[in-house]
């Protein structure tokens, strides 16, 4: 007896039908994150297919991020998807907590720096004026996920660096502590090779690719209250968009892949 019915076999190539069956087992919970799937020979017997079909299905599921394959060990179910949308302006902490994720931060640096020409333009402050610099390593479910460097005009947020940002949301402090509520933002995204330092912090083997985010955050009145550079693990996220002909983008964002990276200011 095999797990692929005749309808599945007739409707599509065998490797696609097999991949569909395995995905359904992951969705239903029969295959759990971190669990090793049966070996190639076991899958051949279970599905009544040849080894090439099994390898093709596993390769597709690995490329799509559903499986992580370790040479000589086997293939393992990766973590479920975590969506991150660009439809709403949310801080990292709030967005991940809304999806049931455990969030933590490690403050790498918190200091006042003078505004250079770049920061003065971005933050709309005088050249040389003090800027609060907050550099954090962000964790999701205990795993290093992103490095976030935030720059804020100190004249708007005196004493802001005295807060414990290892456990506190920056956006919550801006709104509750200073009455400056983030309302909208302009964000640029690019892919870049991770520096050795970034790769080490994120636990990535070199060479590694990161997504780099450059964001200006504003109040409803249009006042720039934050500029951020973030470097995010590219092996955990992918971009998506819903498009219509002759219409604006309806939805755009990026999602964390079902898990089996430096760029400066610019």
Q: What is the pLDDT of residues 213-246, one digit of tens each?
A: 898 988 888 889 999 999 988 877 666 555 666 5
Phi, psi of 120 (to 5 degrees): -60, -40
Rounded CA separation 93/121 (Å): 27
Instruction: Name the one residue in this structure whose structure tokens are 């569909």.
Output: 20
Rounded CA separation 58/69 (Å): 9
Question: Please, which pLDDT band fits residue 150 given cuts at 50, 70 and 90?
Answer: very high
Phi, psi of 84 (to 5 degrees): -135, 115
Report yes or no: 139 and 119 within 8 Å, Cβ to Cβ: no
Query: What is the CATH architecture of 82-256?
Result: 3-Layer(aba) Sandwich (3.40)
Query: What is the CATH architecture of 6-77?
Result: Orthogonal Bundle (1.10)
Characterize 55-94 residue by residue with b for buried, 16 or more Cβ atoms within 10 angstroms of its Cβ, and e for exposed: ebbbebbeeebbbbeeeeeebbbbbebbebebeebbbbbe
Closest CA to 226 of 167, 154, 168: 154
pLDDT of 197: 92
Q: Tell me the pTM.
A: 0.61
Characterize 161-186 residue by residue with b for buried, 16 or more Cβ atoms within 10 angstroms of its Cβ, and e for exposed: bebebeeebbbebbeeeeebebeebe
Q: In the chain, which segments carry CATH 3.40.1410.10?
A: 82-256
pLDDT at 160 over 60: yes
Q: In the chain, which segments carry CATH 1.10.10.10?
A: 6-77
Tens of pLDDT, residue by residue over 14-67, are: 888 888 889 888 878 888 888 899 999 999 988 888 999 999 998 888 877 778
Rounded CA separation 85/102 (Å): 18
């Amino acid at each position: 007896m095999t797990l692929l019915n005749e309808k599945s076999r007739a409707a599509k190539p065998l490797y696609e039908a097999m991949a569909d069956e395995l995905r359904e087992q992951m969705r239903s919970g029969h295959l759990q994150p971190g669990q090793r799937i049966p070996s190639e020979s076991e899958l051949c017997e279970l599905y009544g297919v040849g080894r090439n079909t099994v390898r093709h299905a596993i390769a597709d599921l690995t490329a799509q991020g559903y499986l992580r394959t370790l040479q000589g060990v086997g293939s393992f179910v990766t973590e479920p998807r975590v969506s991150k949308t660009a439809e709403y302006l949310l801080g990292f902490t709030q967005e991940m907590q809304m999806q049931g994720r455990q969030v933590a931060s490690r403050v790498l640096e918190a200091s006042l720096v003078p505004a250079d020409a770049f920061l003065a333009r971005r933050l709309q402050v005088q050249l040389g004026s003090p800027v609060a610099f907050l550099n954090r390593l962000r964790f999701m479910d205990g795993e290093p996920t992103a490095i976030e460097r935030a720059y804020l005009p100190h004249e708007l947020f005196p004493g802001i660096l005295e807060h414990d940002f290892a456990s506190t949301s920056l956006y919550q402090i801006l709104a509750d502590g200073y009455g400056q509520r983030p309302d909208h933002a302009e964000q640029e995204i690019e892919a870049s090779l991770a520096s050795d330092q970034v790769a080490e912090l994120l636990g990535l083997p070199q060479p590694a690719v990161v997504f780099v985010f450059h964001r200006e955050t504003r109040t409803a009145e249009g006042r720039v209250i934050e500029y951020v550079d973030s470097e995010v693990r590219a092996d955990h996220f992918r971009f998506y968009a819903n498009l219509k002909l002759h219409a604006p983008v309806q939805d755009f964002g990026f999602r964390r892949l079902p898990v089996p990276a430096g760029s400066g200011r610019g």
